[in-house]
Amino acid sequence: MSRLAIKICGLSTPDTLDAAIGAGASHVGFVHFAKSPRHVEADRLAALLDRAPSHVKTVGVVVDPDDATLDHLLRAGRLDALQLHGKETPERLAAIARRYGVAVWKAVAVKTAEDIRASGLYRDVADLILFDAKTPDGADLPGGMGLRFDWTLLRDYRAAGPWGLSGGLDPHNVAEAVRISGAPLVDVSSGVENAPGIKDMDKIVAFCKAVQHI
């Protein structure tokens, strides 16, 4: 068991979900965004959520979702948190938290120090801030592209609440990422895949082991 929280994200099959849980992930994430190669529909999500034991937190990753999308998604089963990965405002986060009673995470796209500072806007409404690399203008996805940002930008970050690091992490670089950033939670998707959307169980295990040895 690691003192750091580990989120394995973009899971879409029972065997890779089981691998993440077996390897000691504290959080498992499921992407519900049609443009993503990791998109899971609500009925498939329901079957996956049924497999997650209660000590493992389940996170739904969504991008600028409307209420109809969230109504549908949250009927699938136990989602402990929603990771809002679009351009959601603090007011929208607060409204989602009120309406659904789940934890709300805000993914903040980072390229410069100003992006880190601007995350303060969400301090009072987000249950967790997830710093992720900014994807290129015009990209289909706002995350899940295996891109990383300059982790030294987080060196002097004084967190007012829970936070995590995401973007381009893999079994080989996660220890350095934690050493530089001091992140208490690490989140990975592409770095434990063989191709977009195809998770590799050995890489999932290697990632968890790398974090557990920090």
Ligand X SMILES: O=C(O)c1ccccc1N[C@@H]1O[C@H](COP(=O)(O)O)[C@@H](O)[C@H]1O
Are the beta carbons of 204 and 22 closer than 8 angstroms?
Answer: no
Position 38 contacts ligand X (CB under 6 A): yes
Does 168 participate in binding ligand X (rule CB under 6 A)?
A: yes
Burial class (CB within 10 angstroms; exposed 0-12, middle 13-18, buried 19+) of 55:
exposed
Under the criterion CB under 6 A, does residue 9 sit at the interface with ligand X?
yes
60 is a site residue for ligand X (CB under 6 A): no
Taking every pair of Cα atoms in the chain, the longest distance, rounded to a whole number of angstroms, is 43
Piece of 13-21, 48-56, 121-129, 161-169 that binds ligand X (CB under 6 A): 161-169
d(CA 124, CA 91): 10
132 noted as active-site residue: yes
Using the rule CB under 6 A, give the single segment among 64-72, 74-82, 160-168, 171-179 that binds ligand X. 160-168
β-strand pairing of 185-188 with 163-166: parallel
182: left (phi over 0), alpha (psi -120 to 50) or beta: left
Span from 16-24, 47-55, 112-120, 182-190 in contact with ligand X (CB under 6 A): 182-190
Task: Determine, following the binding rule CB under 6 A, whether residue 164 of this chain makes contact with ligand X.
Answer: no
Alpha-carbon gap, residue 75 to 72, rounded angstroms:
5
What sections of 37-88 are H helices per DSSP?
42-51, 67-74
Tokens matching residue 186: 């690490």
How far lies 17's CA from each of 11, 26, 48, 63, 109, in Å? 6, 12, 8, 22, 26
CB nearer to ligand X: pick between 88 and 132:
132
141 near ligand X (CB under 6 A): yes
Say if CB 24 and CB 2 are below 8 A apart: yes
Only segment of 14-22, 33-41, 69-77, 96-104 that touches ligand X (CB under 6 A): 33-41
Of the pair 135, 212, the CB lying nearest ligand X is at 135
With CB under 6 A as the contact rule, the residue among 17, 20, 73, 85 that binds ligand X is: 85
Q: x/- binding map, residues 86-125, to ligand X, per CB under 6 A?
A: ----------------------------------------
Name the site residues for ligand X (rule: CB under 6 A): 9-10, 29, 31, 33, 36, 38, 61, 63, 85, 132, 141-147, 166-169, 187-191
Q: Which residues are catalytic?
A: 9, 132
